[in-house]
């Protein structure tokens, strides 16, 4: 009887642990991305690192992490913020508004940013030290002048698709691993939309950096957890020695 009770207790504790622990604590064995997995590298561009027009603190630190991770993936997709001059998301396009304030646009609330990642400029170029020779696709987003686009899958109007979901599904991709900039905006929106499109989704935390505008980072992690996005570290993924 004692052993039965003990076994039942341990089984219950294990079940509770699985429900309550974060993915890194559960991952005793490393994750080996299969042929039906993709690494999405979000907006690792000059505009989002030191010296850029909208620098994310520590943004360039993700580059060596992503380069190392890339060796574990057969499939890699890169995104690039690619704004027009005078884009609707720029504070400069709205007289009297300052960067990091919010306004209502036709599709909802919009954070206003400094002018950044303007098409064809060096500021919009991918970081020179990114080494992703097996990257198969670059998704450019934010090129419609009146609509911002954080997610790799869907623009901020929540209606206009980028086509990425269809591309990945046609390629037989089931699992998405998201890295890049910034954790609480384009990375989070990409991961959430991956789940919405039916993919299993992971965010590789130390391969991202955040803006953290008025608590946006904690809010983003909470939203992602609620939708089943798994939070892991690069060390949880098996890469080539």
Catalytic machinery residues: 43, 141, 186
**C-alpha of 118 from chain center:** 20
Task: Please say whether the beta carbons of 42 and 77 come within 8 A.
Answer: no
- Tell me the helix, strand and coil percentages in the chain, rounded to 5: 35, 25, 45
Task: State the sign of the Cα–Cα–Cα–Cα dihedral 145, 138, 36, 32.
Answer: negative
Residue 130: DSSP 8-state? -
Task: Please say whether the beta carbons of 190 and 225 come within 8 A.
Answer: no
Dist CA 81 CA 47 (whole Å):
9
Dist CA 44 CA 151 (whole Å):
14
Structure tokens that stand for 223 in this block: 């939203």
Which among 199, 224, 91 has a CA at the least distance from the CA of 148? Answer: 91
């Amino acid at each position: 009887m004692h052993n039965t009770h003990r076994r039942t207790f341990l089984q219950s504790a294990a079940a509770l642990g699985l429900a309550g622990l974060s993915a890194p604590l559960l991952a005793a064995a490393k994750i080996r991305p299969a042929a039906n997995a993709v690494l999405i590298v979000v907006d690792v561009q000059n505009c989002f690192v030191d010296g850029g027009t909208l620098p994310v603190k520590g943004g360039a630190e993700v580059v060596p992490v992503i380069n190392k991770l890339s060796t574990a993936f057969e499939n890699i997709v890169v995104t690039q913020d690619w704004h027009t001059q005078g884009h609707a998301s720029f504070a400069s396009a709205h007289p009297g508004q300052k960067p990091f304030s919010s306004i209502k646009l036709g599709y909802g609330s919009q954070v206003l940013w400094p002018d950044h990642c303007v098409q064809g400029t060096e500021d919009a170029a991918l970081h020179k030290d990114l080494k992703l020779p097996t990257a198969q696709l670059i998704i450019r987003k934010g090129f419609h002048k009146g609509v911002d686009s954080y997610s790799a899958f869907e623009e901020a109007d929540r209606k206009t698709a980028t086509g990425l979901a269809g591309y990945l599904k046609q390629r037989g991709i089931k699992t998405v691993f998201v890295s890049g900039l910034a954790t609480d905006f384009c990375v989070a929106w990409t991961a959430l939309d991956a789940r919405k499109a039916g993919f299993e989704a992971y965010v590789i935390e130390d391969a991202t950096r955040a803006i953290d505008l008025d608590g946006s980072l904690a809010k983003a992690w909470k939203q992602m957890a609620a939708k089943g996005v798994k939070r892991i570290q690069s060390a949880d993924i098996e890469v080539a020695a």
